[in-house]
Every structure is written in structure tokens, then in C-alpha cells.
Chains A and B, each alone.
Chain A
Amino acid sequence: MNSRFAYRRKNWLYIPLIMAAVFYLIPLYLMLATGFKGFEEINLRTMWALPHGLHLDNFIEAYTVLSPYLLNSLNMVFPAAIISSVLGSINGYLLSKWKFKGADTIFLLILFGMFIPYQSILIPLVEFMTRIGLYGSLPGLVLTHVVYGLPITTLTFRNYYSGISNELLEAAKVDGAGMLRIYWSILLPISIPSFVVVLIWQFTQAWNDFLFAVVLTSSRSWPITVALNNMAGSQIIAWNVQMAGSLITALPTLIVYIFLGRYFLRGMMAGALKE
């Protein structure tokens, strides 16, 4: 193609791109600009102005309020993400390479669990958690995230393992390796990228969840999303502190996205049942 001409002709395309970029950045700008303002600068009239210097007052105050809940979220997301990923990997392996009778149907039934509106299971979930003594606690929330995370972790690993040639497995079988041996020595070592995808996805889902958290936890075990929402609804906490609190809540998943965005995107695509 006559690339130089085409290139020049295309420069105007930056105008809509930059306009779109501004749209996506506005909320981030507001969080940052407000968060870093000093208390004396806080005035609705100057909401859009840049801060004079970087003050940490808002962040310190927001952190003081949110820190116990931040800790709850951290204690909850790691086990939730790790357990559902490990189970998903085993399921994905067996449902793609060692299909028992009805395995494909079972997979479809598992998959449906990914899309259900959780309002349709909330009442039994609360009853069930109460009966097994986990209602109002973090382990109950972890269990919930693990179970409802299984469809997407199973799906992602099943897609990945399906793409691995059967000849490789047959060769290992000829050498006398069994089902578990093949998984452990051959598939697991090459599954690291898929583990990254699934762990990031589950981490983000569990961190960002509000519905399960608000229904299943009590004020001592609230994760940060519930605490932030209460903070925003309270009349006592000023909006500048709310903005700083929002940024603190968003930061862990944002950092993951900034450094591992490629893997995040793959998790997202799996969610649309497309690879």
C-alpha cells in the first residue's frame, strides 16, 4: 500500500481517539486530583482544578477508615482465587482429555453456573451458610467465591487443554504414565500462563464483588467494596475522602491490570465463551 499517503490521511483519526481517551480518564482524573488535594483546598467550586502539591491527608483519612476492610479483602481473595483455579485446572484436564460418559453434558451444566443471576440463589445461600455456621464470616465468602468461580476456571482450562495434541499424551501413556502422572509432569508445567489468566480473573472478580459480600458478611468481616459503599452513603465522610477511598479500593486490581493486562484480556474473552 502507498503507506505514507495513507498515514497522513489517517492523522485526523486521533481526534476521536483522544476524545474517547478523555472520556475514560475523567473519573480517574477526578479521583487523583481530589485525592491529592489538601483539606484546605477542598471546595466543590474547584472540584476540577489540579491540586496545589501532593497532599496525602485524604488518603490517610480514607485508609484509617478502610484499612480493616482492606485486610478482610486481602484475606479473602487469595484463597478464593487459588482454590478455584486449582480445581478448575483439574476439571479442565479431565473434562477435555479423560472424558467419562456424559462429561460434555456435565461441562455445559457447570458452564451455565457462570451466567445465573445470583438473586436466584441468594436465599438458599444464606440459609445454607447459616446452617453450616459460616454465615457472616470470611470463610463463608471464600467458599462462595470458590464455587461460583468454578465454571469460568473450568472453562478456561478446558479450552487450553483441548488445544494440546493427544499424541503428546499418547506418547506419555506408551511410556507408562497414568492419568495423574501426565497431568503432574506434562500438563501442569505448561499451564502457567493459563494459571495467570485464571488467578487474575478470580482475584479481580472476588475483589470487586459487592452482592455476595453485602449479603453474607457482617460488619466485622466486610470486604472493602461494602465498606466503601457505606462510606459513600454516609453524611459524615467528605467527598474528597470518598474519592481517595475509591482509589484505594481500585488500586490492587488496577495494578494487576497495568502489569498483567494481557492475561486479564484473555480471561475476559473466555467469559464471552470465545477464545
Chain B
Amino acid sequence: MRSKKEAWLSFLLVLPTILAIGIFVYGFILWTMRVSISQWTGLLPDYTFVGFENYIYLFSTARFQIDITNTLIFTAVFMTGAIGLGFFLAVLLDQGLKGEAFFRSLFLFPMAISYIVTGVVWRWLMNPAQGDRISGFNLLFHNLGLDFLINRWHTTPGWGIAFIAIPAIWQLSGYTMALYLAGLRAIPDQLREAARVDGATEWQIMRYVILPLLKPVTLSAVIIIGHMSLKVFDLIVAVAGKQLALDVPAINMWQTTFDGYYFGVGAAIGVLLLLSVALLIIPYIIYTQKGEANQ
């Protein structure tokens, strides 16, 4: 169907992108890997080979242990919240109520906003100060006579990171809602009607007809939200600055490298982050793109 000349021309025209991605993604990843097994500390590059010393050191630090725990807590709360709320809102919006378009746009608008803006506003909403300096939600709870709800938010010892997931859920539950809504819309009405005719209750239809059909959507949501939570960075910086109690790998990497000049250790964090994301994403890319080819 196409000549050799055209195939070459096509390749040549994509070449700038191949080179750009080749350098900026794959070349830089290899470069980071090289730095992660070097003893580079300080401003001047030093590629002296030290094996896995940086990785071993990293796992021995209390800080990286905190990073891992925080990432696990954050992921659990963020994922449950964003997927649960997104699914719930999608089911509500699928009922054919008036004003659906308005609500849908409203639930999605935080997606258009920077994490930094979200973080700066939520910094005040979740202000932990009490007594004279009480503000944000704590003040609102006090004004409403709900003093028992007043809490320390992201400064709660041990669980602060779970509260950071609240603005993250605020920002991204609209996204999961949109994914589920598209999934629900793709289910033909006849299926529900058939189940109704067979005497199934609405609850049974949801449990045995709708939910199984939405499995691929849930998979997408888990992967997308999961990889976002591994990468969380801006939001925490904007809500709370850089504090050890709320540390995550992305912030640790940034500080270790650009504030502390421990390039070798910083690169090791980068490589570990990449590996964890790749474990989620590569099977997903293959799965989705294969499905596309079969269509």
C-alpha cells in the first residue's frame, strides 16, 4: 500500500520526536540510574562507582521508612475516597435528573486548577490552630456547634498524611466520576430492563449486572489514581511545606538532591519511584493498547 520512499519519509518526520523522547525520557532515565550508583555528593558531578550503596543507605534511613508508610496511607485513603466518591456521584448523575450537566461540570472543575492553588486554599481550610487563632473548617465546626469535629488535620501525629488525601480527593474525584459515568453510559438499557423483567431489584441489578461490567473502568481508575499518588508532590508542598512527618519519596528526592546535594541518593529515590510506577503502568499500557488493536 505504501512505497519504501514514503515509509522513510514518515520515519524521518517522526524522528525529531523519537530523538526528543529518546533523550529526555530513556536517555535521562539511564543517566539517573548511572548517578544512583555513583558517589556524587556536592555541586560537582562525581561518577565514581559505588554499587548499590546509595540504595542500601536509603533503606536504612528513618526518613525513607516514613516515606513508604506515608505513601501507603496516602494511596489507601486517596484511592478509596476518589474511587468511592467518583462512583457514587456517577451513579447519582446517571439517574436522569434535571441539572445533570451543571452538577457534572461542577464536580469536574477542580481538575482544571493547579495543585498549588488547591494546596494554598486547603492550607487555610485545614488550619490546625486552635483557641484564638482558630480558622478554616475548625472555625466552621465551632460556629455550627460541632466542636467535637475540631481536629489537628494534617498535623495529627502519625496520620497527618491521610488528611492531605482530602484535598487530593476534592481535586480528582471528578475525574473518576467522569470515567464511571462514561462506563455507565456504555451499558445498554436493555440489559437493565431484562434484569428488571426477570424480577431483579435495583440493588441486585447494580451488584450483579452493572458492577461486573464496570470492572475495566475500576481498573483504569485504580491505575491512574495509584500512579498519581506515588508521584504526589505539589499538593503536600503547598499545604504544609516540607516537613518530615508529611514526607513522601517525591519530596525526599527533591530535598536530598537540590537542597542537600546528595545527588547519588536523590537519583536512587528517582529510580525507585520510576520502578514502582512502571510496575503499575507498563502492564496497563500493554493491556489497553492490545485491546485497541483487537477492536
Interface residues in chain A, defined as those with a beta carbon under 8 Å from any beta carbon in chain B: 10, 13-14, 16-17, 20-21, 23-28, 30-31, 44-45, 47-48, 87, 90-91, 94-95, 98-101, 103, 106, 108-113, 115-125, 127-128, 144, 146-148, 150-151, 154, 178-179, 204, 207-211, 215, 225, 228-229, 232-233, 239, 242-243, 245-246, 249-250, 253-254, 256-258, 261, 264-265, 268-269, 271-274
Contact = CB atoms under 8 A, between A and B. Distances in A.
Nearest to B31: A124
A254 B113 contact: yes
B9 A119 contact: no
B135 A47 contact: yes
15 contacts: A16-B88, A16-B92, A27-B122, A30-B124, A48-B140, A95-B14, A116-B274, A123-B31, A123-B35, A147-B21, A150-B21, A211-B254, A232-B119, A239-B124, A272-B220
A91 B17 contact: yes
Contacts of B21: 109-110, 113, 147, 150-151
B179 interface: yes
B241 interface: yes
Contacts of A25: 106
Given A121-B270, A246-B117, A268-B111, A116 B289 contact: no
Nearest to B272: A120
Nearest to B251: A119
Contacts, number: 270
Interface of B: 2, 6-11, 13-14, 16-18, 20-21, 23-29, 31-32, 35, 45, 85, 88-89, 92-93, 95-97, 103, 105-125, 133-136, 139-140, 143, 170, 174-175, 178-179, 182, 220-221, 224, 227, 230-231, 233-234, 237-238, 241, 249-250, 253-254, 257-258, 263, 266-267, 269-271, 273-274, 277-278, 281-282, 284-286, 288-289
A228 B289 CA distance: 39
A179 B116 CA distance: 44
Contact of A121 (B25, B89, B221): B25
A108 B97 contact: no
A264 B112 contact: yes
A24 B257 CA distance: 36
A253 B139 contact: no
Given A23-B170, A124-B32, A125-B24, A119 B273 contact: yes
B277 A116 contact: yes
B2 A243 contact: no
B31 A210 contact: no
